[in-house]
Amino acid sequence: MKEKLSGAQGFEKYYSSIFAARWEKLKTALLQESEGVPFDAGAKTYFLDSASVLVALTLPLDGAKKILDMCAAPGGKTLVLARRMEDDAELFSNELSFERKCRLERVVAEHLLPDVKERVKITCGDGALLCKKQDAIYDAILLDAPCSSERHVLSSPKYLREWSPARVRSLAMRQWSLLSSAFRILKSGGFLLYSTCAISDEENSCVAKRLLEKFKGKVRAVEFDEIRILQESNAKKFPELFSKIEFPSFEKNEFGFSVLSDAQKNSGPIYFFLAEKL
């Protein structure tokens, strides 16, 4: 009979089985507090993880006039996208939770300059349902999906006690509903960036793989060299924003890429996958 995993002991066994000898080092890094880097949002500096900045640099925005940040709170990636978007572009930042949406509004109001802020539209709703209300209208979409966030689980006795693989499976289902909705409202030729701060394949590569299989012939995964060139060119395009930030390196997964905290000076963890709709 298969062993039922739950709580702190189950958490330990689950992630040990994924990372093997690397797990102890990774766990130690996750238990340390992540240090944010300063990002000049225009009106006020915002501190966020360097891996989050790296991911927000990855989404191609050249020529994108209508951009969506599907699960936008607390707002760090929205600020990076807003500062990168072209002068005639609009950014729609959506959040399911009303409380988190209010926090997102405060972050945008406090940190962006008026001429940029007026082109950021904040909405409150379920991103998984947007495909039932909207057509393929976006040129670029960032989906930073709700996830297990193992760094926070490890730091909380309550969350660690309540952990189970069922939670991972439930989040993966939610992530898929959001990702498939995002793909449907993306224009052909547009780019969709999926990211999480989870470290399990079930919430990362498995979700990306499902997109590639479900929409085979209509989607392509952007490869490692393209990702690296995109990030470097965007950093050079906005030197005043990114020249002082030391970006972490990323490693290739089966589908997508990860920044893992043990290898990158405690930056991350973050997973990302970039797809182009054909």
Q: What is the 3-state secondary structure (H, E, C) of 7-52?
A: HHHHHHHHHHHHHHHHHHHHHHHHHCCCCCEEEECCCCEEEECHHH
Pairing of strands 251-252, 257-259: antiparallel
From start to end of 169-252, where are the E strands? 186-196, 219-221, 251-252
Per-residue b/e over 134-151, b at no fewer than 16 CB within 10 Å? eeeebbbbbbbbbbbbbb
Q: How many CB atoms lie within 10 A of CB 217?
A: 6
The one catalytic residue among 71, 131, 147, 197: 197
Does 197 qualify as catalytic in the annotation? yes
Question: φ and ψ at 244, to 5 degrees?
Answer: -95, 0
Q: Residue 138 forms beta bridges with which residues?
A: 186
Cβ–Cβ under 8 Å, residues 72 and 81: no
Is 216 in a helix, a strand, or coil? strand
Residue with tokens 């509004």: 105
Residue 165 tokens, joined: 């693989």
Please identify every residue annotated as catalytic. Answer: 197
